[in-house]
Amino acid sequence: MKTRLTEMFDIELPIMLAGMGGVSYSDLVAAVSDAGGIGTFGAAPMSTELLVSEMARVRTLTNKPFGVDLLTASPDSIARNIQAIIDGGASIYVAGLGVPREIIDELHSHNILVGSMCGKVRHATAAVASGCDFVVAQGTEAGGHTGTVATMALVPQVVDAVKGKVPVVAAGGIFDGRGLVAALALGADGVWIGTKFIATNEAHTGTGYKQKMLEMAEDDTVISKAYTGKTCRVARTEWTQHFDEHPEELQGFPAQAIATIQAGIDHLGVGPDVILDTNKAFMAIGQAVGAIDEIKPARQVVAEIMDEARRTLERLADLK
């Protein structure tokens, strides 16, 4: 399936693995890239040493392109990691929480394409004006830090605002082939999927996270500042409930994130050897969770999305 995005990235399918901090590590990144989409590291919580070894590991698993996502909100980590990203052979760089203005030229000089996460139209126009090569329009349905505008309303407005200057990638609540086709119908050139890929064998999580997702309904997530001090869509837990009832105890970012670490419930980056207390743990999860009832290999997830997208296109063609 060819779109402007697949042409730009030189990949086969318009499916991007979202850069999920703590979750999108080498196994998952390599699996999605190898399946024909593109895997993106969620590198925000990684040390530079870990990012270097993880990127090297991808290269032992596939020679397909991959990307790295970092948060612009932590300029420290960008300064520390930029050379590693260039040396590690990433093809794309995606910035969460702000446009990475200072580093766009340097990344371009090493043929790395730059994308920006956008929750509003004005984020997208600012990203394009600063020289970003593509934008990810992320609706409120998304797991992780998120805004208030839904994917259905946001994507076509971002598409119109960027006026064809760059490809638009749709994110938030997309978990199957119908979602991919809907995103393309709204004018997007591909999809950036997080939640659905957490429920894969390759996703890097503590024990309990994936199992908890199998039990959750579509309305079991909540946008809360309880874990980081910023609005983040997470599984509703005793911890989010407590701060719903006691909003006066909430601190800003990063103080609230530090409080979460001190409480021993921020397990970002831990693997299956750590068993989570899922009544309290910080688990970023989107509204797509209600549709997830099985943990599968990531390659199978990609194949099923594409099969269903093709069937959906046929079904829609019959409507004419």
Which stretches of the chain bind ligand FMN, using CB under 6 A?
18-21, 23, 42, 44, 69, 71, 96, 117, 138, 141-144, 171-174, 192-195, 284-286, 288
- When CB distances to ligand FMN are compared, the closest residue is 194
**Shortest Cβ distance from residue 249 to ligand FMN (Å)?**
24
Nearer to ligand FMN, 30 or 209 (CB): 209
Would you call 227 helix, strand, or coil by DSSP? coil
Q: Which is nearer to ligand FMN, 278 or 314 (CB)?
A: 278
DSSP count for the chain of H helices, then E strands: 13, 11
Query: How many angstroms separate the CA atoms of 142 and 194, rounded?
Result: 8
Kindly tell me which of 195 and 260 has the beta carbon lying closer to ligand FMN: 195
Q: Which two tokens stand for residue 221?
A: 């997530």
Q: In the complex with ligand FMN, which residue's Cβ is closer, 40 or 312?
A: 40
Residue 31 beta carbon to ligand FMN: minimum distance, rounded to whole angstroms: 16
Tell me the closest approach of the beta carbon of residue 33 to ligand FMN, in angstroms. Answer: 16
Closest CA to 228 of 150, 116, 144: 144
Least separation in angstroms between residue 131's CB and ligand FMN is 19
54 or 141: CB nearest ligand FMN = 141
The DSSP letter of residue 143 is S
Which segments within 27-161 are labelled E, that is strand?
Answer: 39-42, 66-71, 92-96, 113-118, 134-138, 144-145
Cα 216 to Cα 163, 213, 252, 276, 293: the distances in Å are 39, 5, 28, 16, 9
Shortest reach from residue 246's CB to ligand FMN, in Å: 25
